[in-house]
């Protein structure tokens, strides 16, 4: 499963005469967890050999885990970066950051599923795998497997509902002074500025209460000196230790971009802006599909056949200024007939640089004239702009025309030949094949 869906936890309170801890006894329940129509709590009972869709456990540990990890659980989009995603199934229970967002971290001796949340801006991926503890004496084995994408705001509402319900249950049972009450009061009682700071810390990969204090001044300075759009992309990419240095680079690049000779007035660019400003993707359209479609429209307007190279120099002018942060790739601004771009990697290979320029063109035909950053983050916007650049530079249809074999059996030499033709990396061509040709 890899689709849009909803995330839902439902339960029925159960008696627990053998449970001693008051918080556990009061919140003992039969629990079902679903993503869309799939039951994440689908388990095999090892004693009977039968399967069921629910587990028995107290909701208190789950609610406490949600409250204590609230900010990073929902806003740490760094977990969606490719180097983690590419080894996700191997690292999900060993990488400290991935494990932090996994139900297995709840613990307390109960049989929680291998269920991970991976935030990516407006959307969050929910991923679950078969699991049975190799050490605990569980009498169940999780047998479900899947991935689903849910709206981050809907997930936040659902998690908040769980915590509030557990607190209400505790209050009804006379347990009104738990650590959950205290932690949730801190989360929900944060004023606007404090909540913004906590979200920013989480986007930097930091716990706002235990890890962000040494960077507090740098975080506040960046929030005050960068525009909201720049600041959001900045914190999704920058290393906490390089906030101050990277903020200085952004300021220098913003000044430098004003001195770049912009492309001449270009009617094609204006038509792209007019058409793409009105483009609206469907509610179930995934970010990369939006980027592909927008790139196809841009190529049609420019009247560039799918097997021909797209001439980026007519649309984007560039200069270089070495960035101290590898994940901050470039800063640009819509100007003249396209965009002016300051590239942060002074030794960037021409093919890699072309991909950055393609991403910059997306900004120039979809954004207003405010400065923008191109970074190594992988939120929804970056997924769209990457897909746009890939399809603009090396269209899947063009690759298909140039292939001398079925995409499934294409040789490395064939991929490299096509990459040379489009003046992009072989990795980009391979990704286009894997994502658009091989899957069909």
For 88-114, the pLDDT digits (tens) are 777 777 888 888 899 999 977 888 999
**pLDDT value for 3:** 46
User: 42, 143 in Cβ contact below 8 A?
Assistant: yes
Structure tokens at 398: 């063009």
Would you place residue 236 in the very low, low, confident or very high pLDDT band (cuts 50, 70, 90)?
very high
**pLDDT value for 346:** 60
Structure tokens at 54: 């629910």
Residue found by looking up tokens 């609230």 in the block: 70
The DSSP element (H or E) to which 220 belongs, if any, is: helix 216-225
Structure tokens at 300: 């049609």
**Each residue's pLDDT tens digit, 109-151:** 888 999 999 999 899 999 999 988 765 677 889 999 999 999 9
The answer to which of 116-130, 198-212, 269-283, 334-348 has the lowest mean pLDDT is 334-348
User: 62, 32 in Cβ contact below 8 A?
Assistant: no
Number of separate helices (H) and strands (E) present in the chain: 19, 15
Alpha carbons within 13 A on the beta-carbon side of 236? 26
**pLDDT value for 1:** 38
**pLDDT value for 18:** 87
Would you place residue 347 in the very low, low, confident or very high pLDDT band (cuts 50, 70, 90)?
very low
User: 198, 185 in Cβ contact below 8 A?
Assistant: no
Answer with the residue of higher pLDDT: 354 or 47: 354
- Given a cut of 60, whether residue 348 has pLDDT beyond it is no
**Each residue's pLDDT tens digit, 384-427:** 999 999 999 999 999 999 998 788 888 899 999 999 999 999 99
- Average pLDDT of the segment spanning 152-176: 97
Would you place residue 284 in the very low, low, confident or very high pLDDT band (cuts 50, 70, 90)?
confident
Answer with the residue of higher pLDDT: 417 or 84: 417
Average predicted confidence (pLDDT) for the chain = 90
Secondary structure (3-state) at 106 = coil
- Given a cut of 90, whether residue 223 has pLDDT beyond it is yes
- Average pLDDT of the segment spanning 209-216: 94
- The percent of residues in the chain predicted with pLDDT above 70, rounded, is 96
**pLDDT value for 2:** 46
The separation between CA 88 and the C-alpha centre of its own chain, rounded to angstroms, equals 14
- Given a cut of 60, whether residue 440 has pLDDT beyond it is no
The answer to which of 122-126, 255-259, 338-342, 404-408 has the lowest mean pLDDT is 404-408
């Amino acid at each position: 499963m890899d689709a849009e869906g909803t995330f839902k936890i439902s339960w029925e309170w159960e008696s627990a005469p053998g449970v001693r801890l008051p918080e556990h006894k009061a919140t003992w329940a039969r629990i079902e967890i679903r993503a869309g129509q799939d039951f994440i709590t689908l388990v095999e009972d090892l004693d009977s050999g039968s399967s069921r869709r629910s587990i028995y456990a107290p909701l208190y540990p789950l609610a406490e885990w949600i409250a204590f990890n609230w900010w990073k659980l929902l806003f740490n989009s760094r977990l969606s970066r490719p180097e983690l995603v590419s080894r996700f199934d191997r690292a999900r229970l060993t990488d400290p950051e991935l494990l932090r967002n996994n139900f297995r971290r709840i613990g307390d001796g109960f049989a929680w599923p291998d269920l991970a949340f991976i935030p990516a801006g407006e959307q969050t991926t929910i991923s679950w795998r078969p699991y049975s503890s190799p050490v605990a004496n569980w009498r169940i084995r999780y047998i479900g497997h899947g991935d689903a994408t849910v709206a981050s705001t809907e997930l936040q509402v659902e998690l908040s509902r769980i915590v509030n319900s557990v607190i209400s249950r505790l209050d009804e049972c006379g347990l009104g002074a738990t650590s959950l009450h205290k932690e949730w009061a801190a989360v929900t009682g944060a004023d606007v500025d404090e909540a913004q700071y906590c979200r920013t810390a989480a986007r930097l990969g930091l716990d706002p209460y235990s890890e962000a204090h040494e960077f507090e001044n740098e975080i506040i300075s960046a929030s005050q000196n960068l525009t909201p759009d720049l600041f959001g992309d900045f914190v999704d990419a920058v290393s906490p230790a390089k906030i101050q240095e990277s903020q200085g680079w952004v300021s220098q690049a913003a000044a430098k971009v004003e001195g770049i000779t912009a492309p001449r007035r270009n009617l094609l660019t204006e038509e792209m802006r007019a058409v793409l400003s009105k483009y609206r993707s469907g509610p179930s359209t995934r970010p990369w599909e939006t980027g592909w479609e927008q790139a196809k429209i841009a190529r049609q307007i420019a009247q560039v056949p799918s097997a021909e190279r797209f001439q980026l120099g007519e649309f984007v002018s560039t200069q270089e200024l070495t960035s101290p942060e590898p994940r901050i790739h470039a800063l640009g601004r819509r100007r003249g007939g396209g965009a002016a771009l300051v590239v942060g990697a002074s030794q960037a290979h021409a093919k890699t640089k072309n991909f950055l320029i393609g991403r910059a063109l997306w900004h120039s035909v979809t954004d207003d004239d405010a400065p923008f950053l191109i970074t190594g983050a992988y939120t929804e916007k970056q997924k769209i702009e990457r897909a746009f650049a890939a399809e603009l530079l090396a269209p899947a249809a063009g690759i298909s025309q140039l292939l001398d074999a079925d995409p499934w059996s294409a040789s490395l030499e064939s991929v490299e030949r096509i990459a040379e033709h489009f003046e992009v990396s072989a990795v980009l061509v391979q990704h286009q094949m894997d994502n658009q040709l091989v899957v069909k």
